Structure 1
Amino acid sequence: MGKYIVGRILNMIPTLLIVAIIVFLITRLLPGNPAAVMLGPQASAADIKALTEELGLNQPLYIQFVDYIGNLLQGDLGNSLTYNKPVIDLILERFPNTVILAVCALIISIVIGVPAGIIAARKQNSIFDYLFTTFSLIGVSMPIFWLGIMLVLFFSVNLGWFPATGMGSMEAGAGDFFSHLILPSIALATIPTAQFARITRSSMLEVISQDYVKTARSKGLSEFIVICKHAFKNALTPLLTVLGLQVSSMLGGAVLTETIFSWPGIGLLIIDAIGKRDFVVVQNMVIFIALIYVVVNLVVDILYKVVNPRIKYSSNKGGS
């Protein structure tokens, strides 16, 4: 297990390097001169040229890339061109907001999706199962940008129950904070809820037909104990895979959700940076999101071993 973890950590290096190369090239291909965007439409050609040289944008790409990788290896993510502060400060400022939104959406997804999947598996081919299948398909297929707009239109504009945009503050009271959190959390939780429910249902259908589950029932154990203690534990592995992907996506910045609700997280930060041609923020935020993905995947692989000790790991292969 220890060798596997060390091997996976070492494998992160080429993965992140490839991501760094791709995002570096893409940000340099974005139309528009960052210096011209920073100075505004009234800037003279001389001013734009001077700022371009100051930012090092006039240097050959390979020199810019070497400097960029060198700064990354030193833990220096550079300074934002438009926010006039270090990128690491922007991450520390915005990432907790994304974590709050992601955790709330994840709780909603698990609390609703997992029990719904278990019940659907227990009542296979019933009316509930058919309704569950229909709603889960709708949830997976529903565009987040459309759902977010509909939530704002119905609950904010028409009913006036919740604020339409922004993030509340605990200084203004818990009510203000949670009222701002409800709608974006529901929007962000829709697809994960449907996916958790579908995966849970499929996994439970495979497990509840196994002999050890029938044996547990024959011993006179209650159905609740049979499902929760024996069946669900062995159906967790596929669910952990989906959980890892969803956590990575949420922590990586729910771009659409944060944009619609003006939630000040890293997703909205990336959109603002792209619009302002702030390539320093864009490329480093993508690296940060890639790091989140590989770390979460590593944690999920470790959880596999905790949930199912029969899983064997090797340092060269994922798992078998």
Structure 2
Amino acid sequence: MLKYMLRRLLDLIPTLFLVMVIVFIITRLIPGDPASTMLGPQASVEEVAKLRRSLGLDQPLLTQFLDYLRGLLRLDLGTSFAYRKPVIDLILERLPNTLILAAFALVVSLFLGVSSGLISAVKRDTAVDYFFTVISLVGVSIPVFWLGLMLVLLFSVTLGWLPATGMGDLRNGFSSYFSHLILPGLTLATIPMANFSRITRSSMLDVLNQNYIKTAKAKGVSSFGIVVKHGFKNAGTPILTVLGMQLSSMLSGAVLTETIYSWPGMGRLIVDAINRRDFIVVQGTVLFLALLYVLINLLVDLLYKVVNPRVSLENGGNDV
């Protein structure tokens, strides 16, 4: 396992380098100039040129890229044009907010998705199964931005039950903080919840058709014991794989959700940086999220080995 971990960690280098190059090129293709955006339309040409020189934007792109690369080798993500703060400080300020949102969405999606998948598998080919299957298909297909706007329209504007935007403050009480978390959490949890439901149903149907399940039924084991103790225990490995993928997607794909609800997380930081043409922040946050993504997938692979010792990591996850 140690050899596998070292190989995967070495694989991070070309992956992150490729991400860095792509993001660097894309940010330079975005129309607009950071200096002009920061100074505003009233700034003179001389003022804009002076600011460009101070930011190093007058240098050739290759020189800017090499300077950025040298900074990364020193573990320096650069300094924000707009905030005038190190990018790593901005990331560490916003990361806890994104983790809170992602953790809440993950718990909701796991509970509702796995529960509905179990029920759907047990009630196969019944009205209940069809209902949850349709719900999961809708959940996978529904656009996140549309769902977010509809939830705000229903629960905030029409009913007035929940706040529409913001994160809330624990100093105002946990209920106030939690109420701000519900709508963005549900929005972010919708697609993962549908995926968990589909994977759980499929895995459980495979397990419930195995001979040892039929033997347990013949011995008079209760339905609850068959489903939970024997069935779900052996069907949980695919769910673990999906768990890692969905958590990574939540951390890296919360841009729309955080923008809709003005949630001050990593996604909102990226959007604000794009609007301000703050290339350094965009590059640093995307690179940091890419690192989180691959590390989470590595952790899931290792947990996969712990849950199912028969899996050989060295052979690409095949059973030995």
With the length of structure 1 as denominator, give the TM-score of the two structures: 0.97
Deviation at 1:199, TM superposition (A): 0.7
Distance (Å, rounded) in 2 between the aligned partners of 1:14 and 1:232: 38
Distance (Å, rounded) in 2 between the aligned partners of 1:72 and 1:239: 36
Q: What is the 5 A alignment of 1:114-125?
A: 114-125=114-125
Q: Which residue of 2 aligns with 1:144?
A: 144
Helix, strand or coil: the match of 1:85? coil
Q: Which residue of 1 aligns with 2:313?
A: 313
Q: Which residue of 2 aligns with 1:176?
A: 176
Distance (Å, rounded) in 2 between the aligned partners of 1:253 and 1:95: 13
C-alpha offsets along residues 227-261 of structure 1, whole Å, 9 cap, x if unaligned?
22222122122222221111011122511111111
Counterpart AA for 1:25: I
Distance (Å, rounded) in 1 between the aligned partners of 2:25 and 2:154: 42
Distance (Å, rounded) in 1 between the aligned partners of 2:107 and 2:148: 19
Q: What is the 5 A alignment of 1:123-134?
A: 123-134=123-134
The answer to whether the 8 A contact 1:170-1:177 is kept is yes
Q: Does 1:206 align with 2:196?
A: no
C-alpha offsets along residues 290-309 of structure 1, whole Å, 9 cap, x if unaligned?
00110011011011111111
Q: Which residue of 2 aligns with 1:280?
A: 280
Counterpart AA for 1:78: G
4+ long deviations beyond 4 Å: none
Q: Which residue of 2 aligns with 1:240?
A: 240
Q: Does 1:192 align with 2:192?
A: yes
Aligned-residue CA RMSD in angstroms? 1.2
Distance (Å, rounded) in 2 between the aligned partners of 1:98 and 1:265: 5
Q: Which residue of 2 aligns with 1:45?
A: 45
Helix, strand or coil: the match of 1:124? coil
Deviation at 1:72, TM superposition (A): 0.9
Distance (Å, rounded) in 1 between the aligned partners of 2:89 and 2:213: 52
Distance (Å, rounded) in 2 between the aligned partners of 1:70 and 1:229: 54
Counterpart AA for 1:75: L
Counterpart AA for 1:138: V
Distance (Å, rounded) in 2 between the aligned partners of 1:318 and 1:270: 34
Distance (Å, rounded) in 2 between the aligned partners of 1:120 and 1:191: 18
Helix, strand or coil: the match of 1:235? helix
Helix, strand or coil: the match of 1:301? helix
Q: Does 1:23 align with 2:23?
A: yes
Deviation at 1:69, TM superposition (A): 1.1
Q: Which residue of 2 aligns with 1:90?
A: 90
Distance (Å, rounded) in 2 between the aligned partners of 1:64 and 1:73: 14
Distance (Å, rounded) in 1 between the aligned partners of 2:14 and 2:216: 47
Helix, strand or coil: the match of 2:313? coil
Counterpart AA for 1:48: V
Counterpart AA for 1:14: P
Distance (Å, rounded) in 1 between the aligned partners of 2:3 and 2:230: 31
Q: Which residue of 1 aligns with 2:292?
A: 292
Larger mean CA deviation between 253-262 and 276-285 belongs to 253-262
Counterpart AA for 1:268: R
Q: Which residue of 2 aligns with 1:162?
A: 162
Distance (Å, rounded) in 1 between the aligned partners of 2:169 and 2:27: 34
Deviation at 1:39, TM superposition (A): 1.1
Structure 2: which 5+ runs fail to align?
none
Distance (Å, rounded) in 2 between the aligned partners of 1:217 and 1:9: 46
Counterpart AA for 2:82: T
With the length of structure 2 as denominator, give the TM-score of the two structures: 0.97
Counterpart AA for 1:102: A
Counterpart AA for 1:72: L
The answer to whether the 8 A contact 1:253-1:265 is kept is no
Q: Which residue of 2 aligns with 1:3?
A: 3
The answer to whether the 8 A contact 1:240-1:304 is kept is yes
Helix, strand or coil: the match of 2:311? coil
Distance (Å, rounded) in 1 between the aligned partners of 2:183 and 2:299: 29
The answer to whether the 8 A contact 1:252-1:293 is kept is yes
Q: How many residues align?
A: 318
Distance (Å, rounded) in 1 between the aligned partners of 2:141 and 2:290: 25
Distance 1:23 1:218, change over 3 A: same
Q: Which residue of 1 aligns with 2:63?
A: 63
Q: Does 1:258 align with 2:262?
A: no
C-alpha offsets along residues 92-127 of structure 1, whole Å, 9 cap, x if unaligned?
111100111111111110111101101111111011
Distance (Å, rounded) in 2 between the aligned partners of 1:72 and 1:5: 23
Helix, strand or coil: the match of 1:294? helix
Distance 1:81 1:268, change over 3 A: same
Distance (Å, rounded) in 1 between the aligned partners of 2:250 and 2:267: 9
The answer to whether the 8 A contact 1:140-1:190 is kept is yes
